[in-house]
Chains A and B, each alone.
Chain A
């Protein structure tokens, strides 16, 4: 089970990640139609991950079409010329594999993980829908209903989710591209047409707007032949425009209250707009997040959950809630979401967190504490390299966002190079109350759970 080292002989463009103590093989090339390909062989376990990322997400939507990127993602499972509806699920799952697709603010991804003898099956499925998606009124109506049902089940019928997806972005952003709802409104979903779907497909789901990453038990030469055969003759299209995400100046700090009929425990979201991806402050904020919230010795846990017993649960990261530090593309926030003991007020919780941040701004972190947090970051990075799908996600993000998948082998060193002075400076520059948005989510008295008014379960 130790083939990684042997494989690295085959590769081009790999760097030794001194921090991780492990080198992931990376081979990158481009087909004539512009499809970027990233291969990373690992023959230890006969499993392969095929991960296709399209460089379009909810922030490319147009006004009146909120939720469209996600609706389109659903259409990708409605069948294509040679793989009718249902084929993706049956072909992958009958072999013990897993598959899914997901829509994010800046990208949409599709993957299959399966026993490695089935590589060609995954390539056949992905290339067929990139080439010949079945776009019909019937499929569209069907998926409008499915997405609406997903909204009811996963957002409207759940505590906190509606506030986070519909309201939170309006507090953090003023540019509509970033502030509108990623799941979308029923009205906008209903008014989407077959022509919209066809246009979106042609504009964004072209090979030159995508990257194909394959990680796991492959032979590179054989994989390349299959990739050329399945994807090589899919036509490229004019390069699509990325949306202008510039935030207008003059951010107003503020607090909004949302009454949530599903919530039983009060919660609060607090966030601050962050710096440019891969700038020194980006790494510093990532370190601040780890000090505050990573692991059992995180300051929020020891001081607030255990010490003051004010916070019950929390989550936070750069690019919360729709992404992570890995797929952060500015502008994105650093945000925290905390559920708290109702004996406290939301304002007290926000003040307590702000005090923790002030401590980071005002005094340099103790060397021993920083060393511990860096060890955690290093261990988490290595742990995240273990599964083939997780490795594929990282390679694809570095390819599509930074143009360099080999960053998988060197980015950790940048993450670990942060100094106490940089932490203080970043906390002072970004994480101050005048740059802060707050969303209080308060339980609203409601009828019984499951009271009439909800639709059925399909």
Chain B
């Protein structure tokens, strides 16, 4: 009642006080033109004689440059007994070289109006830098120095080890981390994608020599790509600068890629016991194809429909309608050699049984019928719009290019991305959903208090209980 009378009071006042606005139907969302076409800025590619790939994108709107040096040297190359080696190399890479102390590196970087850091993903390691456009040559000098000459000083390695062991403890107190860790183990078996973090014992074993050894093996020019975006100097001058900094970097034979023995997916239920948990973290997942597979775009569309954003089925049903959870989503991570699909939610202990059923029903639902046309069109707009929004900044485009290179995708990947999303048909989504989303061969990983939720889970099948460490 109040709602209506208040609204009327306002609009009456409005008519009295103002000249009438042009007539317009406010009761419906406005008609809008179709999403605008957008052509990516041209991407120039070349290779140095030593094998280093070079990608240049001119974007002169702001006097800035963004740089990435991406090499195939991610955590999948960690030796079995040293999980976290790639991550450690990345963390200490910028803390000293043969000719610069950590203090000099940070002062020089800040003096360029810049930033410099490194990080390791599953497949690759990336050195990221940025600077005011006028300082590009100096930034490239710094990046080349850390890539080629990092010397991992003992005091910096020790400080890293001390802090990383602390933060690992914090990570392991989070149920979401424990679930991700167990799911990776279940999905990827004995393959190197199975570990998502170091162990404290492995961190303790790190020293300057081990870190330098990894660097010498994987940070080599024929194993990577340099990406530059921004207000760049003339092409010839820029290529000369790049050659000066990276041209004498010696090519090396690359080691054999790690073995990828991927287990066949099978239904299993694993409960990670975390006594005292008032919530159950539910993950349902399995192995999924890489971004090079023809099933990639249909599965990406299906994943967004199921659990991407607030219009997705999981959000609407598990959170909004049933009120089981605050977060209910799904994810599809396609690494270079294999991928995984997961549905994730966290629910109160008391509702574990109906919530489990609801999640499995949503997964089955994607396979049970083709997506309605309106839903499919919304999902495609969502993906296309998100992609556009990500291209506003130099960092956004740089991250897209890094992801493309890290995963070995073809050069037209970004250019054709939106078109390929638009081409996905309802029957294709249903076909991949039957294969990858329907939970027939999926693993169920739950982190929670076994004494509270164990019995409910047993109704779904045999439960393996492990301890949270």
Contact = CB atoms under 8 A, between A and B. Distances in A.
Contacts of A98: 389
B34 to A, nearest CB: 6
Contacts of A375: 110-113, 132
B309 to A, nearest CB: 5
B180 interface: no
Given A2-B61, A131-B14, A96 B387 contact: yes
B11 A132 contact: yes
Contact of B278 (A20, A33, A81, A452): A452
B264 interface: no
Contact of B381 (A95, A233, A371): A95
Nearest to A216: B392
Contacts of B29: 83, 87, 91, 121, 124
Given A46-B36, A236-B17, A382-B64, A457 B110 contact: no
Contacts of B469: none
B2 A135 contact: yes
A32 B18 contact: yes
B35 interface: yes
Contacts of B163: 312
Which residue of B13, B113, B175, B347 has the most chain A CB atoms within 10 A of its CB atom? Answer: B113
Nearest to A374: B113
Contacts of A383: 62, 64, 130
Interface stretch (B101-109, B255-263, B287-295): B101-109
A114 interface: yes
Given A45-B391, A229-B24, A457-B279, A382 B132 contact: yes
B3 to A, nearest CB: 5
A201 to B, nearest CB: 8
Given A1-B60, A264-B170, A93 B311 contact: yes
A445 interface: no
A91 B106 CA distance: 45
B311 to A, nearest CB: 5
Which residue of B116, B325, B393 has the most chain A CB atoms within 10 A of its CB atom? Answer: B393
B18 A233 contact: yes
A379 B24 contact: no
A376 B110 CA distance: 6
A295 B27 contact: no
Interface stretch (A271-279, A347-355, A384-392, A419-427): A384-392
Which residue of A123, A233, A306 has the most chain B CB atoms within 10 A of its CB atom? Answer: A233
Interface string B302-321: 00000001110000000000
A235 B311 contact: no
A296 B110 contact: yes
A85 to B, nearest CB: 11
B114 interface: yes
B18 A379 contact: no
A84 to B, nearest CB: 11
Q: How large is the interface on B (under 10, 10 to 19, 20 to 34, 35 or more residues)?
A: 35 or more
B328 to A, nearest CB: 11
A249 interface: no
Contact of A134 (B3, B38, B64): B3
Contacts of A21: 63
A339 to B, nearest CB: 11
A388 B348 contact: no
Which residue of A21, A98, A135, A309 has the most chain B CB atoms within 10 A of its CB atom? Answer: A21
B378 interface: yes
A232 B6 contact: no
Given A90-B311, A198-B6, A232 B18 contact: yes
Contact of A128 (B26, B33, B114, B276): B26
Contacts of A114: 385, 389
Given A94-B378, A232-B18, A235-B17, A45 B388 contact: yes
Contacts of A95: 35, 381-382, 385
A47 B60 contact: no
B451 interface: no
A117 B35 contact: yes
Q: How large is the interface on A (under 10, 10 to 19, 20 to 34, 35 or more residues)?
A: 35 or more
B26 to A, nearest CB: 5
A117 B36 CA distance: 7
Interface in B65-91: none
Contact of B15 (A1, A82, A132, A233): A233
A312 B170 CA distance: 14
A456 B355 CA distance: 14
A457 B326 contact: yes
Interface in B26-51: 26-38, 41
Given A378-B113, A388-B392, A458 B325 contact: yes
Contact of B36 (A33, A116, A123): A116
A264 to B, nearest CB: 7
Contact of B309 (A32, A93, A229, A297): A93
A456 B58 CA distance: 51
A245 interface: no
Contact of B107 (A32, A82, A93, A372): A372
Nearest to B20: A233
Contact of B382 (A81, A94, A296): A94
Contacts of B19: 32, 232-233
A137 interface: yes
A91 B159 CA distance: 49
A297 B106 contact: yes
Interface string B374-408: 00001001111111110111100000000000000
A375 B110 CA distance: 8
A198 B6 CA distance: 8
B106 A296 contact: yes
B21 interface: yes
A47 B102 CA distance: 40
Contacts of A115: 35-36, 384-385, 388-389
A169 B383 CA distance: 42
A297 B3 contact: no
B60 A2 contact: yes
Given A46-B36, A89-B311, A229-B22, A386 B392 contact: yes
A4 to B, nearest CB: 6
A315 interface: no
B59 A1 contact: yes
B433 interface: no
Contact of A124 (B16, B26, B116, B310): B26
Interface in A292-344: 294-297, 301-302, 306, 309, 312
Contacts of A93: 309-311, 382
B173 A449 contact: yes
Nearest to A376: B110
B10 interface: yes
A457 B106 contact: no
Contacts of B32: 117-121
B10 A235 contact: yes
Contacts of B112: 375, 379
Nearest to B21: A233
Interface of A: 1-2, 4, 20-22, 32-33, 42, 44-47, 80-83, 87, 89-91, 93-98, 113-121, 123-124, 128, 131-137, 149, 153, 194, 198, 217, 228-230, 232-236, 264, 294-297, 301-302, 306, 309, 312, 371-373, 375-376, 378-380, 382-383, 385-388, 447-452, 454, 456-458
Given A235-B16, A236-B17, A296-B110, 19 more contacts: A22-B63, A33-B17, A45-B392, A46-B38, A81-B26, A82-B26, A90-B310, A121-B29, A136-B2, A198-B2, A233-B19, A375-B111, A376-B110, A378-B113, A379-B113, A382-B63, A382-B113, A451-B278, A457-B279
25 contacts: A45-B391, A47-B389, A47-B392, A90-B311, A95-B381, A96-B382, A115-B35, A115-B385, A117-B33, A131-B14, A132-B7, A132-B11, A134-B3, A198-B2, A234-B14, A236-B17, A295-B109, A302-B103, A371-B111, A376-B113, A379-B64, A379-B114, A379-B132, A451-B276, A457-B279
Question: What 9 A-B pairs have minimum CB-CB distances, sorted nearest first?
Answer: A96-B385, A379-B113, A296-B106, A46-B36, A448-B276, A233-B21, A120-B30, A295-B110, A456-B348
